[in-house]
Chains A and B, each alone.
Chain A
Amino acid sequence: EAQVTQNPRYLITVTGKKLTVTCSQNMNHEYMSWYRQDPGLGLRQIYYSMNVEVTDKGDVPEGYKVSRKEKRNFPLILESPSPNQTSLYFCASSLFRGRGTEAFFGQGTRLTVV
């Protein structure tokens, strides 16, 4: 089954404790991205990747890191989480960018930083 898999689904952590949210897709998509969803703000892009070893900042990259060592995986790293990073996070992938292909979203990760 074609899908985007995120882990964990739920995470409660303390301020400053490094964490990684994993994202994997099995559709051989080139383009992957991370979004955060906050009430009234919609989906805001954190980072995106056009292909392996090619990543770039989205609209709200501060406090986040990503890597794209393999085509299928695109982990999101919070080196020192803070309470304002409490949010619902989605990973998404699409075949490529530039021609408006649809994005497939993971199930989401609800992160709480206390």
Chain B
Amino acid sequence: GQQVMQIPQYQHVQEGEDFTTYCNSSTTLSNIQWYKQRPGGHPVFLIQLVKSGEVKKQKRLTFQFGEAKKNSSLHITATQTTDVGTYFCAGDSGSARQLTFGSGTQLTVLP
């Protein structure tokens, strides 16, 4: 079945440093979604990427979808303490009836 790998599992950064998490799928994806889960909270939708090579920005967050539509990344510029949480990618192969979530990257931002 479809597998979505996400690295790193944990990342500690100093406030102001950049952060990147990477997602790789074993199959070509129809689209990919990103979610953020704050500590003790529930996943909240951030964005969806659909097109090959697509790049989207949300303030300090930059999301990319690979040309082959099998990988994606989330980059945060100049992290802030409010960025703390776990970031999940979720791949949709189109033919499957469900999203397949990566294992998540837990981001800690040290003040």
Residues of A within 8 A of B102 (CB): 42
Q: Mark A88-112, 1 if CB is under 8 A from B, else 0.
A: 0010100001101011111110000
Residues of B within 8 A of A42 (CB): 6, 88, 101-104
Total interface residues on A, CB under 8 Å, equals 25
The answer to whether A58 touches B45 (Cβ under 8 A) is no
- Which residue of chain B is the closest to A108 with respect to CB atoms? B42
Given A100-B48, A100-B92: A44 and B42 interface contact (C-beta under 8 Å): no
Q: Mark B43-64, 1 if CB is under 8 A from A, else 0.
A: 1110010100000000000000
**B6, B44, B99, most chain A CB atoms within 10 A:** B99
Given A42-B88, A100-B31: A105 and B44 interface contact (C-beta under 8 Å): yes
The answer to whether A33 touches B98 (Cβ under 8 A) is yes
The answer to whether B42 touches A100 (Cβ under 8 A) is no
Given A40-B103, A100-B30: A90 and B42 interface contact (C-beta under 8 Å): yes
CB of B84 to closest CB in A, whole Å: 17
Given A45-B98, A45-B99: A104 and B92 interface contact (C-beta under 8 Å): no
Does chain B have a CB within 8 A of A56? yes
Contacts of A29-67 to chain B: CB distance below 8 A: 33, 35, 40-45, 48, 50, 56, 58-59
Does chain A have a CB within 8 A of B25? no
The answer to whether A40 touches B42 (Cβ under 8 A) is no
Does chain A have a CB within 8 A of B27? no
Name the 8 nearest CB pairs between A and B, nearest first.
A102-B45, A42-B103, A100-B31, A43-B101, A105-B42, A42-B101, A105-B43, A45-B98
Chain B residues engaging chain A, CB cutoff 8 angstroms: 1, 6, 9, 30-31, 33, 35, 41-45, 48, 50, 88, 90, 92, 94, 97-104
A-B contact pairs, 30 of them (CB 8 A): A33-B98, A35-B101, A40-B103, A41-B103, A42-B102, A42-B103, A42-B104, A43-B88, A43-B90, A43-B104, A44-B101, A45-B100, A50-B97, A58-B98, A59-B1, A90-B42, A97-B97, A97-B98, A100-B31, A100-B33, A100-B92, A102-B48, A103-B33, A103-B35, A103-B43, A103-B99, A104-B45, A106-B42, A107-B41, A108-B42
